[in-house]
């Protein structure tokens, strides 16, 4: 019998639990540790931030799902990982031992790295539903007394899609309220160009997004470093391609949503040979830590080095389908080890993304996500908006049913050449 412990219950942790339970032997125990009683569908947070969804609309209670799947659920925060002892310490001082550990904690949001940033400062966040909910309440107040808006991502950020989605959805909402003419919108980003996305672009995302922003009268500042934020004012340094100061901006705003840089969670930070200096988990091509070989990791919490340097630091995003491919590889590799074999499976890290703009959107496919790629494609249109709504309903249904990749999902994707595991 083996005890397989998964820490985290988000986009990575939930499918990890389902796949691992399906692949584990009957006598093995699968345990999930999470500090929340619910799963929440992170890609819908931009809608929550403008009141197109309520927080409860995108949540699924975990206890009934895990009970049905016969997965042990421990609702507690992990205080510290203890890889030398093969255990995790919980917030109440107790410990949970494991034979195999899968770390799927997600990131720590590093608001503290910039003065005045974040929900406890002067900008909103849609990285977590607990931030997006209050942001939606303040958005409602903003509609009664509109003014300039700043949206974007600060230096070190690695997830740019939600910033574009929030900005365009907010713009659509302003038009629906017939007050778009009263609001100046500026996109401020550490990306070297619009549509970079931390991926050096995908297909024609640069021209697509620039065109969309021009059509909707949105200004932008790239290669931007946010120095500090004060109440109603953002101080930004714009640099050139060599990193030299190009211009200093003082940008007034009435409302702002800025994505922060990510770090590893406190329970991981500073554990030598398990994490890098930012606290992200080090993994090999099989999602396994090179030092602690019974520890695997999936999702936003793993370390992926930037492929190309940028004038202002940017990270590499970990998108939904890419994370799911990590999950499938990890589940199969742990099963390999249970059977006395060496891990042999590798995730494709393919990315299939839908970015909603409120009444249209952009879809892109990158195989793999990180260049050079075998396939890259991008398209835009109203269909993306409806596809994103459909995907939200579908994914949450999978969570309620305890499914990761049912055959009716796997087969059509396979016909298109989109698979989770490398051949």
**Residues in the chain, pLDDT under 50:** none
The rounded distance, in Å, linking the Cα atoms of 167 and 187 is 8
Which long-range contacts does 67-74 make (Cβ < 8 Å, 24+ apart)? 68/402, 69/17, 69/18, 69/21, 69/402, 70/21, 71/17, 71/21, 71/30, 71/31, 71/32, 72/29, 72/30, 72/31, 72/32, 73/31, 73/32, 73/34, 74/31, 74/32, 74/33, 74/34
Q: What is the pLDDT of residue 376?
A: 93
Q: What is the pLDDT of residue 308?
A: 85
Parallel, antiparallel or unpaired: strands 78-82 and 375-380: unpaired
The rounded distance, in Å, linking the Cα atoms of 288 and 366 is 24
Which long-range contacts does 414-420 make (Cβ < 8 Å, 24+ apart)? 417/367, 417/375, 418/321, 418/350, 418/352, 418/365, 418/367, 419/325, 419/348, 419/350, 420/321, 420/324, 420/325, 420/327, 420/328, 420/329, 420/347, 420/348, 420/350
In 253-405 the beta strands, taken as DSSP E runs, fall at 255-259, 262-263, 295-297, 351-356, 361-367, 375-380
The rounded distance, in Å, linking the Cα atoms of 139 and 292 is 46
How far from each other are the two terminal CA atoms of the chain, in whole angstroms? 30
Q: What is the tens place of the pLDDT at every residue in 277-318?
A: 999 999 999 999 999 999 999 999 999 988 789 999 999 999
- Given a contact cutoff of 8 angstroms between Cβ atoms, the answer to whether 268 and 275 are in contact is yes
Tokens 């949450």 -> residue? 396
The rounded distance, in Å, linking the Cα atoms of 146 and 14 is 39
Catalytic positions, please? 159, 353
Q: What is the tens place of the pLDDT at every residue in 169-218?
A: 999 999 999 999 999 999 999 999 999 999 999 989 999 999 999 999 99
Q: What is the pLDDT of residue 306?
A: 80
Q: What is the pLDDT of residue 307?
A: 75
The rounded distance, in Å, linking the Cα atoms of 337 and 357 is 44
The answer to whether the Cα torsion of 11, 369, 268, 88 is positive or negative is positive
Q: What is the pLDDT of residue 184?
A: 98
């Amino acid at each position: 019998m083996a005890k397989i412990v998964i820490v985290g219950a988000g986009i990575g942790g939930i499918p990890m639990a389902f796949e691992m339970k399906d692949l584990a032997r009957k006598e093995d125990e699968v345990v999930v540790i999470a500090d929340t009683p619910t799963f929440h569908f992170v890609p819908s947070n931009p809608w929550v931030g403008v009141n197109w969804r309520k927080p409860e609309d995108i949540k699924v209670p975990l206890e009934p799902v895990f009970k049905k799947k016969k997965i042990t659920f421990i609702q507690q925060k992990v205080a510290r990982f203890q890889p030398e002892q093969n255990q995790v310490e919980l917030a109440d001082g107790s410990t949970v031992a494991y034979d195999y550990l899968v770390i799927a904690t997600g990131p720590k949001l590093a608001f503290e790295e910039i003065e005045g940033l974040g929900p406890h400062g002067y900008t909103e966040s849609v990285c977590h539903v607990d931030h997006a909910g209050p942001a939606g309440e303040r958005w409602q107040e903003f509609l009664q007394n509109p003014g300039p808006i700043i949206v974007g991502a600060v230096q070190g950020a690695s997830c740019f899609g939600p910033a574009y989605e929030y900005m365009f959805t907010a713009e659509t909402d302003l038009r629906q309220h017939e007050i778009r003419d009263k609001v100046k919108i500026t996109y401020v980003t550490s990306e070297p160009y619009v549509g970079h996305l931390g991926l050096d672009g995908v297909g024609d995302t640069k021209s697509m997004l620039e065109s969309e922003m021009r059509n909707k009268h949105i200004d932008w500042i790239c290669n931007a470093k946010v120095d500090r934020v004060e109440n109603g004012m953002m101080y930004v340094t714009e640099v050139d391609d060599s990193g030299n100061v190009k211009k200093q901006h003082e940008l007034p705003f009435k409302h702002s949503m800025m994505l922060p840089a990510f770090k590893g969670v406190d329970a991981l930070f500073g554990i030598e040979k398990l994490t890098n200096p930012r606290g992200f988990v080090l993994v090999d091509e099989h999602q396994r830590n090179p030092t602690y070989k019974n520890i695997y990791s999936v999702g936003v919490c793993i370390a992926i080095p930037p492929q190309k340097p940028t004038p202002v630091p940017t990270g590499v995003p970990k998108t939904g389908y890419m994370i799911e491919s990590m999950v499938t590889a990890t589940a199969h590799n742990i099963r390999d080890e249970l059977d006395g074999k060496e891990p042999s499976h590798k995730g494709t890290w393919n990315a299939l993304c839908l970015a909603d703009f409120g009444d249209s959107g952009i879809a892109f496919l990158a195989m793999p996500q990180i260049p050079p790629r075998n396939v890259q494609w991008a398209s835009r249109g109203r269909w993306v908006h409806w596809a994103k709504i459909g995907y939200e309903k579908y994914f949450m249904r999978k969570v309620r049913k305890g499914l990761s990749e049912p055959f009716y999902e796997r087969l059509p994707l396979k016909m298109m050449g989109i698979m989770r595991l490398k051949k």
